[in-house]
Amino acid sequence: MVDIYKELDKLRKQGKDAVIVTVTEKSGMGPADVGKKMLVTEGNVAFGTVGGGAIEYYAREKCKEVLENRISFSEKYILNDRTVSVDDGSIILPMACGGKVTLFYEFVGPKQYVYIFGAGHCGAALARVLKPLGFFTAIIDERDYVINALDDAADVKVNEGFVEYIEKHGLPDNRYIVVCTPSHQNDFHVLNKILELKIKPKYFGMLCSKKKIGDYLEKAYQLYGKDIDLTNFYSPIGLQTGGDSPEEVAISIAGEILSVFYNKADINSHMRDLAKK
């Protein structure tokens, strides 16, 4: 018998999302006994069972929605292959059992995934700030001595070239990206690669001056046209909190990440928007 909690532990260490589906209520006949559990991964691989048949197939399909929205909820089902009237919002599934079942879909994963390009003072400080906030951080840097000097603040530490990492591993849409590499050239290469591959981050922040980002964007417009979508691009990065130490900059960036995550953006506090005035 598969231990779904061991499988879940493996997934969490890899920084992957999952859904635990649990049978919480049952009345009448049916294969879904209270307490049965099923773990479903991002690739729709399942461990355990909630009873098989139509209910299990439906539950696995429903998990795709849970993984996309990152929200937990319960849903009621009537297991009946005949036409029946429903007045409580239950979903009818084509099974001959005739019973009723409630499944709880529990999203298991971090608030979000933050990819930090650059493991210098600011990148390392940001990883430390984000660690207790429930974000999963991956920090990428081509300098082995910098990566080796990091503590355990980041969940994943990768010693690879910045663009090489994107080309090799890709970046999923709707993730959070922070660029704070040791050179402006590397910064632009990361920006360019993300635009080239049409990656759609939920948040894309770059540690850069107002003048330098203007130069970057002019080059980007020349390469990709004026209609590129930079809605979620934040540079200069961070909230207007004051202070220029790595720790203060990290708090500013973390605050901006939280404001985007909780949809609390205020154009009067983002450095990006203030720079336009």
State residue 146's pLDDT score. Answer: 94
Q: How far is CA 231 from CA 12, 143, 204, 253, 269, in A?
A: 31, 31, 9, 17, 16
Residue-level pLDDT at 87: 62
| pLDDT interval class at 88 (50, 70, 90) | low
178, 125 contact by CB (below 8 A):
no
Query: pTM score > 0.85 for this model?
Result: no
Give residues with Cβ within 8 angstroms of 17, minimum separation 6: 11, 41, 42, 67, 70, 107, 108, 109
pLDDT score, position 94: 80
pLDDT at 203 over 80: yes
**pLDDT over threshold 70, residue 134:** yes
For the chain, the distance separating the N- and C-terminal CA atoms, rounded to the nearest angstrom, is 62
What is the structure's pLDDT at 186? 92
Between 83 and 162, the higher pLDDT residue:
162
Using one digit for the tens of pLDDT, what is the confidence trace for 226-275?
A: 888 888 999 889 998 989 899 999 999 999 999 999 988 766 678 777 66
Percent with pLDDT over 90 in the chain: 58
**Three-state SS for 151?**
coil
Mean pLDDT of 2-18: 87
Q: Is the pLDDT of residue 85 over 60?
A: no
Nearest-angstrom CA–CA distance, 22 and 114: 29
Mean pLDDT score of the chain, rounded to an integer? 89
pLDDT of residue 152: 85
CB 47 within 8 A of CB 21: no
Domains of the chain, first to last: 4-108 (no CATH), 113-275 (3.40.50.720)
Count of C-beta atoms within a 10 Å radius of residue 77: 22
Beta-ladder partners of 270: 239
Tell me the β-bridge partners of 74.
Answer: 104
Q: Give tens-digit pLDDT for 267-277.
A: 667 877 766 65
